[in-house]
Amino acid sequence: MNNKTLVFKIDESNFADTISKAADIIKQGGTVAFPTETVYGLGADALDPVAVRKIFEAKGRPADNPLIVHIASRDSLDIIAKDIPPIAFELMDAFWPGPLTLVLKRTSAVPDITTGGLDTVAVRMPDNPVALALIKVAGTPLAAPSANTSGRPSPTTAEHVISDLSGRIDAVIDGGAVEVGVESTVLDVTSDVPAILRPGGVSLEDIKKYVGEVVIGYTDQAVEEGDVVRSPGMKYTHYSPKTRVVLVEGDGMAVAAKISELIDNYSEKNMRVGLLITDETAEHVSADEMYSLGRRDKPEDAARNLFAGLRYLDERDVDISVSVSVNVNVIIVDGSIKCDGVGVAVLNRLRKAANELIEV
Ligand code: TXA
Ligand code: MG
């Protein structure tokens, strides 16, 4: 595989030139990580099976977990999808460009490897100028999963991408930190009643304004082997730091009291604690390493902080060269974040990342 990953720092002064260099790599069948509004994606030509294979190899992604195909204009829809129901167009009018992925029937132009062999294809139009320009200039839809090693927390900065994939991909476009911080909502509109297969940047409340009935087709738990799932991605571990993660959920005061008790217990065992914590809970407890999720009633801030926080605390364990930090043996996560809007997606990601869930 590649051993040198190019890093393109993009700004207004070099925008067109950078996009053109990155698009050339895509046209030659290479892989380029790029910012979207949700998380960084690892892109390749969605219609080129050889290029798409490189994405699976770089991430260590299981071959049956399909990729989202990103487009910059609805003109490209007909190339990849067919029999698109009217409700899909209504949702596109409402949410595109933006963090809503629609599962549609696929055309034969989309290779099996992109869809994991399914007869459907997941499509979205990202709301980020770098992503849109890259797709346009490359002149092809881009298959792009989150640009992390499979199973790790998703990347919200170019540094996260480099930390996971340096030497394994051709290039990364550094466009700064993303805006949303959790991935898109995946909505299957191929059946009579649409089903949410992954909660994300567009909330259930928002979708319900357009769709009369909607099924919740995901779980917050890691699915056991052999279970039947509608979205292959549900089968696999997700968002997991190497360090043990303990999630405490419930009402604010009760969560703060429980976390305080846990910190005492771990300290007695000489374990170092890292806290991923809301500002309110932080008024009551402290630990060796802390990372703020923001305020409990601001789930959009928690969305922006959660993956960066998990990565930060995880590194405190492995990176002994960082002399100012201590080794963290357990990460305690404060789950008192308000569970509505994007908060639903935040808690879903935290539950999937957790090794242990304590409800108080
Ligand atoms: O926000 C996002 O969606 C980011 C950015 C880069 O666009 N992408 C992303 O991709 O999160 P990925 O590959 O990490 O997650 C795609 C999810 C997986 O859970 C996968 O199983 C599901 O979408 N998926 C893809 N194609 C599908 C299909 N045809 N049917 C059902 N689920 C599908
Ligand atoms: Mg992912």
Pairing of strands 356-359, 330-335: unpaired
pLDDT band at 273 (very low <50, low <70, confident <90, very high): very high
Q: What is the pLDDT of residue 27?
A: 98
Residue 232 has pLDDT above 80, yes or no: no
The H or E element that residue 112 is part of is: helix 112-115
- pLDDT tens figures, 177-188: 999 999 999 999
pLDDT band at 222 (very low <50, low <70, confident <90, very high): low
Q: What percent of the chain has pLDDT over 70?
A: 92
Query: What's the CA-to-centroid distance between 36 and ligand 1, angstroms?
Result: 13
- The reported pTM is 0.95
Query: What's the CA-to-centroid distance between 63 and ligand 2, angstroms?
Result: 13
Q: Which of 13, 34, 8 lies closest to 129 in space, CA to CA?
A: 34
Cα–Cα–Cα angle for 153, 200, 161, rounded to 5 degrees:
30
- pLDDT tens figures, 11-20: 999 999 999 9
Atom of ligand 1 nearest to the CA of 38: 1
Q: Which ligand is nearest to the CA of 122?
A: 1
Q: What is the pLDDT of residue 235?
A: 56
Provide long-range contacts, Cβ within 8 A and 24+ apart, for 212-220: 214/187, 217/188, 218/348, 220/347, 220/348, 220/351, 220/352
Q: What is the pLDDT of residue 221?
A: 78
Atom of ligand 1 nearest to the CA of 201: 1
pLDDT band at 239 (very low <50, low <70, confident <90, very high): confident
Q: What is the pLDDT of residue 328?
A: 85
Q: What is the pLDDT of residue 231?
A: 65
Atom of ligand 1 nearest to the CA of 65: 21
* CATH architecture for segment(s) 244-359: 3-Layer(aba) Sandwich (3.40)
Residue nearest to atom 17 of ligand 1 (CA): 233
Atom of ligand 1 nearest to the CA of 101: 3
Residue 342: Cβ within 10 Å count: 27
Q: What percent of the chain has pLDDT over 90?
A: 88
Check if the beta carbon of residue 68 is closer than 8 Å to that of residue 147: no
Average pLDDT over residues 211-233: 74
pLDDT band at 238 (very low <50, low <70, confident <90, very high): confident
Q: Which ligand is nearest to the CA of 62?
A: 1
Query: What's the CA-to-centroid distance between 240 and ligand 1, angstroms?
Result: 17
Query: What's the CA-to-centroid distance between 136 and ligand 2, angstroms?
Result: 23
Atom of ligand 1 nearest to the CA of 70: 7
Which 3 state secondary structure label does DSSP give 285?
A: coil
Check if the beta carbon of residue 243 is closer than 8 Å to that of residue 317: yes
Q: Confirm or reject: Cβ of 315 under 6 Å from ligand 1.
A: no
Average pLDDT over residues 232-239: 66
| Calpha distance 188→139 (Å, rounded) | 26
Residue 169 has pLDDT above 80, yes or no: yes
Task: Please report the sign of the dihedral spanned by the C-alpha atoms of residue 308, residue 303, residue 344, residue 328.
Answer: positive
Query: Where does the chain hold its CATH 3.40.50.11030 domain(s)?
Result: 244-359
Residue 236 has pLDDT above 80, yes or no: no
Select from 191, 231, 238, 348 the residue to mutate for testing ligand 1; criterion: most ligand atoms less than 8 Å from CB.
231
Average pLDDT over residues 181-203: 97
The H or E element that residue 309 is part of is: helix 299-318
Place of tokens 């790790």: 152
Q: What is the pLDDT of residue 159?
A: 98
Query: What's the CA-to-centroid distance between 154 and ligand 2, angstroms?
Result: 6
- pLDDT tens figures, 295-344: 999 999 999 999 999 999 999 865 455 555 567 899 999 999 999 999 99
Query: What's the CA-to-centroid distance between 338 and ligand 2, angstroms?
Result: 23
- Choose the CATH number for 6-216 among 3.40.718.10, 3.90.870.10, 1.10.645.10, 3.20.20.140: 3.90.870.10
Query: Where does the chain hold its CATH 3.90.870.10 domain(s)?
Result: 6-216
Least confidently predicted of 75-84, 253-262, 315-324: 315-324
Q: Confirm or reject: Cβ of 197 under 6 Å from ligand 1.
A: yes
Q: What is the pLDDT of residue 162?
A: 98
